[in-house]
Chain A
Amino acid sequence: MGELAAVVGIGQTKYASRRGDVSIAGLVREAAQNALEDADLSFKDIDAVVIGKAPDMFEGIVMPEIYLTDALGANGKPMLRVHTAGSVGGSTALVAASHVQSGTFKRVLTVTFEKQSESNAMWALSTPQPFSVHLNAGAGGYFAPIIREYIRRSNAPSDIGIKVAVKDRLHGARNPLSHLNLPNISHQEVEDSMMLWDPIRFLEACPSSDGACAMIIANKDLVSESPKPPAWILGGAMRSEPTIYAGRDEVNPRAGRDCAKDVYAQAGISDPRRQFDCAEIYVPFSWYEPMWLENLGFADQGEGWRLTLDGATSLDEGGDIPWNCSGGVLSSNPIGASGMIRFAEAARQVRGDADQHQVKDARLALGHAYGGGAQFFSMWVVGANKP
């Protein structure tokens, strides 16, 4: 896959429902500077900047990279803006990596963000379109029927989603950057929360967050210039399929399966549950954990919920394959950045730099993002060992 590259710096902001203390430029700069500090570098060490975010309509700024040039030290450098729906955080990391893996650049900065307090996602997702059914449901309303179909097919107990919601919030309570900090959350509390889109309750849905995430990706030759251990990029893949087509399996989308197969082949993964030490997977609604456990090959068809039930994905229960130790999308959701946070948190684990949510001796991790009508996927595998 071309030149070998690694993550040498990671920077995130504190996630919150409203970061009124910073502008959008201030938000992305905070993440970028944290990443540069983590890598012991400055803006002058960066060859190119790759930025990503979810739709421009969220904040109401057309092509915001044009305005963010100065904040990201990109003046006089190449700057690229990626937009691939909810998977954008992951795709942006992969496009940034390709800047280095292609041999074109030695070291790039990549940043993604969303400032939901300055936006109206529900409005942005619901503008009426000619000749199309007007949807005023947001993402939860779109995914709820697909989740119901998963429950019907798998005969999963009805409280699996509640279990995921509790588990990811307990993980999030270990992460000081987390938007939601709910160390005392209980099964009962989630069950009693308002039903939003049956079967998704309020506490089974992701929050709306402000935040940004940044990474520095460097060619292997420059890795030693940064002090912390690198996260080697062992594979990266993207897949897209249409929102609707005859015979499409919306519960277990083929684009997700194909993407996983591709990235596993690059990284030499044949048994993901056994080989990975942990995974950061895009789970914006609780039930997507068991669904993606199956889609990504961690469990057989119809069996994903058993891993959740047995605590296999829980750090607190000592599970063998912890998912979303950072708290996941269920704890922090700056939409455009949420995918990159997954990729960055996977990298933090294999760098041994995840503090209170560190998986002991993590060497190999999967980062995953999805978007649109569960039709756009991006994934990467990162490892502690240089290949």
Chain B
Amino acid sequence: MNIDICIVAFSQSACVAQAGAANEVELIMPQLEAVYGQVGISNAQDVDFVCSGSCDYLQGAAFAFVAGVDALGAVPPIQESHVEMDAAWALYEAVLKIRMGHAESALVYGFSKSSPGELPVVLSQQLDPYYLAPQWIDSISLAALQARLMLDKGIIKASDMAAVVASSRRCAMDNDKAQLAGQFSISDLLEEPEYVSPLRKADCSPISDGASAMIICTRSKAEEWQVPFVRLSGIDHRIETHNLGMRDLTTSHSTRLVAEALSIHNSSLDIAELYAPFSHQQIILEQALELQAETEINPSGGVLAGNLMMASGLSRVGEVFNRIVAGEAERGLAHATSGPCLQHNLLAILESV
């Protein structure tokens, strides 16, 4: 537990609406090459542990991650594991591996092509298979239900949601990996028709293809590699009930629990990268985290500017890492989510050294 864990490298592909014929290995390889280059190693043999996050249903194949192993050069064999979750949880597994002293360094990556299928419909099949999945309730409809509750209770106004989108698009203008960027006023956005009421298309993250990768290690390993590094001073996560009727959808109980466990409330944060696939969910998260006014939220544009399923959570951590390394921030928060209406939430705290 007392081992200092550091992030030393991060790379993310551009978020693209359609990666065309490129397969998953071809999406992963450039990101692996990039992180190897950042620390000056040549392949996965030079780290002690590898963990990835992906989803078979997005690729339409059982064992989709097996192909990912082909991207690693796993000859001779390597210590490798996989979570059927966003790669932010692969990062979590790697952190445990380092804490227990089984590894000094780890490579973490996540990838997906959401474009070949109908993502909101695919995600309907992660609901209770007996009572909910047969109704094919897609992820956008569930989020719309949540937004409607917030509007009806007076917690937000439509213009608050549009303000989140406007901020995302504006910030994304400085992010060359973003899929959607530009200057939009709140009134411009509100003039757009509703898509799944009360959500407009701009309230929903786009469908994106791509991958991201990260290398973490002990502090002594980071010093040995002589590269800029950032301390991962905390990481934790919580899940809550799947039964939407049992949850207050207008808040995020699990996010609050993690924030308390990591003592985030009232702590000083320069930036926060939040995985909010829908505009109103960013507001739910901001409230659950009790973020202070000085905290800059989603300077990358967040996932409304491009959403790499199974990698976006890891990318939130990576975005905070990039800004601390660049000297734009001292201390930042990264968030990842999974499941309908923010069911499962992970937080990571990053600090400059």
Binding site for B on A (CB under 8 A): 1-3, 23-24, 54-70, 74-85, 91, 95, 98-99, 101-104, 124-125, 127, 129-131, 237-243, 245, 248, 254-255, 258-259, 372, 375-376
| B130 with A23: CB separation less than 8 A | yes
| B99 with A57: CB separation less than 8 A | no
* B83 close to chain A: CB less than 8 A: yes
Binding site for A on B (CB under 8 A): 1, 23, 50, 55-57, 60-63, 65-66, 69-70, 72, 74-85, 89, 92-93, 95-97, 99-102, 122-123, 125-130, 133, 236-243, 253-254, 257, 338-340, 343-344
| A127 with B79: CB separation less than 8 A | no
A83 CA to B63 CA in the complex, in Å? 9
Chain A facing B: main interface SS: loop
Q: Taking the nearest CB of chain A, how far is it from the CB of B22, in angstroms?
A: 11
| A67 with B126: CB separation less than 8 A | yes
A130 CA to B242 CA in the complex, in Å? 35
Residues of B with C-beta under 8 A to A57: 56-57, 61-62
Name the contact of A75 in the complex, choosing from B57, B77, B239 (C-beta under 8 A).
Answer: B239
Would A80 and B89 be within 8 Å (CB), given that A69-B240, A70-B243, A102-B100 are in contact? yes
| A238 with B81: CB separation less than 8 A | yes
Name the contact of A77 in the complex, choosing from B77, B93, B239 (C-beta under 8 A).
Answer: B239
Residues of B with C-beta under 8 A to A65: 84, 239
Q: With A54-B62, A62-B55, A254-B77 given, can you name 13 additional A-B contacts, CB distance below 8 Å?
A: A2-B102, A57-B56, A61-B125, A66-B242, A75-B239, A77-B239, A81-B84, A98-B100, A103-B1, A130-B23, A238-B81, A242-B70, A243-B69
| B81 with A70: CB separation less than 8 A | no
Q: Taking the nearest CB of chain A, how far is it from the CB of B351, in angstroms?
A: 19
Q: Taking the nearest CB of chain B, how far is it from the CB of A70, in angstroms?
A: 5
| B81 with A60: CB separation less than 8 A | no
Residues of A with C-beta under 8 A to B241: 69-70, 75
Q: Taking the nearest CB of chain A, how far is it from the CB of B244, in angstroms?
A: 12
Residues of B with C-beta under 8 A to A76: 238-240, 253-254, 257
Would A67 and B129 be within 8 Å (CB), given that A103-B1, A104-B96 are in contact? yes
A187 CA to B117 CA in the complex, in Å? 50
| B76 with A254: CB separation less than 8 A | yes
Residue of B nearest to A131 (CB): B23
Residue from the set B55, B62, B97, B343 with the largest chain A CB neighbour count within 10 Å: B62
A68 CA to B239 CA in the complex, in Å? 11
Would A242 and B338 be within 8 Å (CB), given that A75-B240, A98-B97 are in contact? no
| B125 with A62: CB separation less than 8 A | yes
Q: Taking the nearest CB of chain B, how far is it from the CB of A232, in angstroms?
A: 15
| B126 with A95: CB separation less than 8 A | no
Residues of A with C-beta under 8 A to B253: 76
Q: Taking the nearest CB of chain A, how far is it from the CB of B66, in angstroms?
A: 5
| B99 with A242: CB separation less than 8 A | no
| A104 with B125: CB separation less than 8 A | no
Would you give 13 A-B contacts (Cβ < 8 Å), ordered by A? A62-B55, A62-B57, A66-B343, A67-B242, A69-B239, A81-B89, A101-B100, A103-B100, A239-B78, A240-B77, A240-B78, A242-B74, A375-B66
Q: Taking the nearest CB of chain B, how far is it from the CB of A184, in angstroms?
A: 36
A254 CA to B92 CA in the complex, in Å? 28
| B82 with A78: CB separation less than 8 A | no
